[in-house]
Amino acid sequence: MSHPVLVVGSVALDSVETPFGRADDALGGSGTYFSASASHHTRVQLVGVVGSDYPVDQLQVLASRGVDLAGVERAEGESFRWRGRYRHDLNTAETLETRLGVFSHFRPKIPAQFRRAKYVFLGNIDPRLQLDVLDQVEKPALVGCDTMNFWIESRRPDLLALLKRVDLITLNDAEARQLTEEANLVKAARWILAHGPRTVIIKKGEHGAFMFHADRVFFAPAYPLESVFDPTGAGDSFAGGFMGYLAQTDDLSEANMRRAVVMGSVMGSFVVEGFSVKRLLEITPNDIAARMAEFHRLVTFDATVA
């Protein structure tokens, strides 16, 4: 049976410059990307905050896709704004400006009707707030979280407390190394698994993603795209595809979690083809199924040697 997925994350306005163009004050933020991606798979309950200047009518595209915005609070003040630039190789975002605005005082309040969510994703916010969210939800079947270098450095004890309460964490390779002080990703994953989550997903951007459980490892490449337009939101769209697919299928078997990782990679491969959430609003179920099949063709081989 299909379930909704609850996500807590930022709802921001991004201004992005790439070698191929620029976008100003476009829909952005981890909660937004996650929701747009997950909405292809199931209903989404988004919790976040926007400022009084936010073009909330633009969020209607999410609502029309089944994203329940009842948890998106509007606060007096400026919205969270991020301004960044990508150079020729598109690998690293250069942050030109971050203005937290109303996000700096954000205290997530989970609406009563969201509190029984079976699938919960704690986007990349202060681990203290992520813990706060967990105190407000009832017995979810799967809790995933994301984090970043800033929290690993400034909120380590809270982050370690959070790890004990989540089932799954997604983080990128640099963050995994920073958190664990292990250069080797297998060792890093083992360290994290020993500190709480039963599943660790280490994202390597254009180099794909690993999923580690106790004694199993799965790898999905990133799709080799000919034109990457704007890498912003790839990780959040990955998480949205992954969690959205799990919530849709309500199946936590190894086989289905592998498919969910590929679904995350599929959604990440679409979002980078355009600015902001543009591509996520255009693609159809057929596009998704076709790319899933392409991922399969990309890695499939018969191991029966001569």
- Give the total of residues touching a second copy (CB under 8 A): 48
How far apart (Å, rounded) are the C-alpha atoms in residues 291 and 297? Answer: 10
- Structural tokens at position 150: 């800033």
Q: Interface with a second copy includes 131 (CB under 8 A)?
A: no
62 near 35, Cβ under 8 Å? yes
Stretch that binds a second copy, among 47-55, 85-93, 231-239, 271-279 (CB under 8 A): 85-93
CA distance to 91, 104, 187, per residue, from 172 (Å): 13, 24, 14
Tell me which stretch binds a second copy (CB under 8 A): 75-83, 119-127, 183-191, 192-200: 183-191
The verdict on 215 binding a second copy (CB under 8 A) reads no
Write each residue from 232 to 271 as x if it is in contact with a second copy (CB under 8 A), else as -, in one continuous string: -------------x--xx-x---x--xx-xxx--------
Q: Of these, 111, 219, 278, 281, which contacts a second copy (CB under 8 A)?
A: 219
State in angstroms the smallest separation of the CB of 90 from a second copy. Answer: 8
Closest by CA to 231, choosing from 24, 11, 12, 20, is 20
Alpha carbon separation from 173 to 120, 168, 256 (Å, rounded): 23, 15, 23
Cβ of residue 227: shortest distance to a second copy, in angstroms? 7
Out of 186, 194, 198, 282, point to the residue binding a second copy (CB under 8 A): 186
179 binds a second copy (CB under 8 A): no
Helices (H) and strands (E) in the chain, counts: 11, 13
- Token digits of residue 39: 């909405």
Give Cα 237 distance to the centre of its chain.
5
Q: 2 phi and psi, to 5 degrees?
A: -75, 135
Rounded Cα–Cα distance for residues 35 and 51 (Å): 19
Q: Which of 157, 226, 284, 286 binds a second copy (CB under 8 A)?
A: 226
Told to check if 218 binds a second copy by CB under 8 A, we report yes
Distance CA 145, CA 175 (A): 13
Rule CB under 8 A: is residue 66 a binding residue for a second copy?
no
Q: Where do contacts with a second copy occur on this chain (CB under 8 A)?
A: 88-90, 183-187, 190, 204, 207-208, 210, 216-221, 224-228, 245, 248-249, 251, 255, 258-259, 261-263, 289, 292-293, 295-303, 305-306
